[in-house]
Amino acid sequence: MLLLTPVLVALVCILIVWIFKNTDRSIKKRKVESQARAETRPWMDEDLRDSSDLYQVEEDGDEWQESEETIDHIPFAHTRYSEEEMAKRSQEFYELLNQRRSVRFISNEQIPMEVIDNIIKAAAGTAPSGAHTEPWTFVVVKDPEVKHRIREIIEEEEEINYRRRMGVRWVTDLKKLRTNWIKEYLDTAPVLILIFKQVHGFAANGKKKVHYYSEISVSISCGLLLAALQNAGLVTVTTSPLNCGPRLRVLLGRPTNEKLLLLLPVGYPSKEATVPNLKRKPLDQIMVTV
């Protein structure tokens, strides 16, 4: 039995070494997999993360304005159409919006400011919002120098986005659209519309005012904006420049409670404009009736 002891000790040592080697391989494998996931996972713009304002209200109660508003309720005026008219209007509206495309080649031809005013009123002036807080600011930029500075900021950050932040999968998915960090339309489009969400507002006495579901509310208004642009015969492309929000906010003189959500270059399509030949999902793939 004593002769077996050295053999057993050797076997135990071999087993321990084997366990450590496999553990080390497993750790290295997990690190490689983690790095690979990090490379393919889209990078989140910190400036777009929703703040925890509802919790801050509890923690810093003295800084927030209590709502004391009362509002009268009035009869609702409604126009009811016949079923035939409803079908006709809904089909025509669908056909109009179905012509909408994301256009990256925009003419420098000027557009009437009255049209832009009406489009903003149609979007920000009619959209629903949480507790009717209307937590948005639409900044219209026409000045060529300011537009060019916006382009410089965005292209600088977008090159970093494409090379590092967005990840391999995201960049690969965009290849078919032939996009990159060069944004010529930011100079050529006669108008840029930057949509900021207000994470909170301010009451007349300077106290903070809670804005509920600010990102959802602003996103709804942006959908109405796209429909209004299409209705007016204008084109745009929806852009959300990652990591540009703080610098653009400073450039445009916006307060710190506003976060950039979208940027839309607006105008007429250029004569050489092209769009990807994309197909949209049919109704049976986007709607479920229960």
Is 123 domain-assigned?
A: yes
> With 60 as the cut, is the pLDDT of residue 210 above it?
yes
| Token output for 171 | 């960049």
Give Cα separations from 69 to 14, 65, 131, 175, 217 (angstroms).
77, 11, 11, 51, 20
Judged on CB neighbours under 10 Å (0-12, 13-18, 19+), 125 is middle
Q: Pick left, alpha or beta for residue 276 (phi over 0 → left; psi -120 to 50 → alpha; otherwise beta).
A: beta
Q: What is the pLDDT of residue 204?
A: 82
Is 125 domain-assigned?
A: yes
**Interval 165-178 mean pLDDT:** 77
Q: Mapped to the 3 state alphabet, what secondary structure does the chain carry?
A: CCCHHHHHHHHHHHHHHHHHHHHHHHHHHHHHHHHHHHHHCCCCCHHHCCCCHHHHHHHCHHHECCCCCCCCCCCCCCCCCCHHHHHHHHHHHHHHHHCCCECCCECCCCCCHHHHHHHHHHHCCCCCCECCCCCEEEEEECCHHHHHHHHHHHHHHHHHHHHHHCCHHHHHHHHHHCCCCCCCHHHHCCEEEEEEEECEEECCCCCEEECECHHHHHHHHHHHHHHHHHHCCCEECCECCCCCHHHHHHHCCCCCCEEEEEEEEEECECCCCCCCCCCCCCHHHHCCCC
- Around Cβ 227, how many Cβ atoms within 10 Å? 17
Reported pTM: 0.78
Is 140 domain-assigned?
A: yes
Query: Which of 270, 287, 264 lies closest to 123 in space, CA to CA?
Result: 264
Higher-pLDDT residue of 203 and 33 is 203
Is 83 domain-assigned?
A: no
Q: What is the CATH number of the domain that holds 55?
A: 3.40.109.10
Residue type, 44: M
8 A C-beta contact, residue 207 and residue 56: no
Is 9 domain-assigned?
A: no
8 A C-beta contact, residue 221 and residue 214: no
Residue type, 99: Q
Containing structural domain, residue 251: 40-62+89-273
Is 115 domain-assigned?
A: yes
Is 220 domain-assigned?
A: yes
Query: Which of 240, 246, 202 lies closest to 222 in space, CA to CA?
Result: 240
Is 22 domain-assigned?
A: no
Query: Which of 274, 230, 279, 240 lies closest to 106 in space, CA to CA?
Result: 274
Residue type, 24: D
- Around Cβ 85, how many Cβ atoms within 10 Å? 10
**Interval 81-95 mean pLDDT:** 98
Phi then psi for 273, rounded to 5 degrees?
-65, 135
- Around Cβ 78, how many Cβ atoms within 10 Å? 5
**Domain count for the chain:** 1
Q: What is the pLDDT of residue 58?
A: 46
Instruction: Please write the tens of the pLDDT for every residue from 18-71.
Output: 776 666 666 666 655 555 554 444 555 555 554 434 444 444 556 766 666 688
Q: Which of 22-36, 135-149, 165-179 has the lowest mean pLDDT?
A: 22-36
